[in-house]
Amino acid sequence: MYHISNDKNIREFVRNILRTKKWKILRQGKHVIIHHLAFNGVGNIIVPGTPSCPYAFENFKKEYYQRLREYFIRIGVIIPKSM
């Protein structure tokens, strides 16, 4: 298992994401990345390993939920409002 993050909130959040079996963990250079496994997936999300900002966890969750929403729109679960 990879060292995910020094922040315990980020570490627990990523472990919960990985338990869904829809994401896998990658290691590219010094960065840990989670990758969505679905066909035409939403791409990669870089996990902050040593967060120096107190908002790193909130920013990471925000990026995760944005990617998840993009995926749901792409597969038709969520229908965006027309302008």
Among 41, 38, 34, smallest CA distance to 10 is for 34
3-state secondary structure of 12: helix
Residue 26 lies in a domain: yes
Q: Is 82 contained in some domain? A: no
pLDDT at 65: 94
Nearest of 77, 61, 64 to residue 23 by alpha carbon? 64
Report the pLDDT value the prediction gives residue 72, as an integer from 0 to 100: 87
Model pLDDT, residue 38: 83
Count of domains forming the chain = 1
pLDDT digits (tens, 9 = 90+) for 12-67: 999 999 999 989 998 888 889 999 888 666 678 999 999 989 899 999 999 999 99
Residue 81 lies in a domain: no
Torsion from C-alpha of 16, 17, 20, 21, nearest 10 degrees: -120
Q: Is residue 3 part of a domain?
A: no
Q: Residue 6 has what pLDDT?
A: 93
What range does the domain containing 35 cover?
Answer: 8-75
Task: Tell me how far apart the alpha carbons of residues 30 and 61 are, in angstroms, rounded to a whole number.
Answer: 21
Whether 81 shows a pLDDT value over 90: the answer reads no
